[in-house]
Amino acid sequence: MDLREALRTTGSIRRFAPRTVDDALVHEILDDARFAPSGGNRQAWRVVVVRDPALKAAVGEAYLDAWHDYVAHVLAGLIPFSPLASEADRHAAATQRAHAEAASKPDGFAETMGHAPAMLVVAADLTCLAATDRDLERYGLVGGASVYPFVWSLLLAARERDLGGVITTVGTRNEPTLRALLHLPATMAVAAVVVLGYPEHRHTRLSRRRVEEFATVDHFDGPALTAAPD
């Protein structure tokens, strides 16, 4: 597949056709994704391919529990789990939890994730991460740069093979549960749960903000970057 086409059509796929995705195909995808960049080429990612139906269901339950908290934030008019949230924001979200559970749909993604054709839990080895923002007085972010390019490469490799999927991080809210289910060591952090399968519907061209809306010249408040010459 043409790279430009892949970049513009690899969206989040959450509904899958009833087709299996065997281990050989997952191996092929990971074999391509492993060439993603990482800090110091330490390749801090580890992948647990969850095959056991009962274990997949348990991971799905942990995700669904966290999803209800996510929806509760939305119902409260908040950005879910914002690192800038106040105590008042947290309280407002908590009051919406019961409403979020009531809004749950039996055929929703969160409710059916445990039945996805393929489930991969991507963990980050904290002993390998160069988190250069570690000592800043703000939310830590940089360490993920050594793991998430791999996850994105995984989705692109799946797209090449006519599969679709989605990077989900909501389940990380219940990391202790996932850690126990998957026997993750204390030095491993859950970065994402990725589900893959053959899309129920065809991939479509994505819609995103124009470059001029997010890129500026010289300063954050500088002029928008345009394709036109100076």
- Structural domains present in the chain: 3-213 (3.40.109.10)
Count CA atoms within 13 Å of residue 141 on its CB side: 6
Provide mean pLDDT across the span 96-110: 95
Helical packing angle, 87-94 and 53-75, nearest 10°: 120
pTM value is 0.92
**152-183 pLDDT, tens per residue?**
999 999 999 999 999 999 999 999 999 999 99
The secondary structure of 177-225 as a DSSP string is HHHHHHT--TTEEEEEEEEEE-BSS---------GGGT-BSSSTTSPBP
- Confidence tier at 230 by pLDDT (50, 70, 90): low
Provide mean pLDDT across the span 53-63: 97
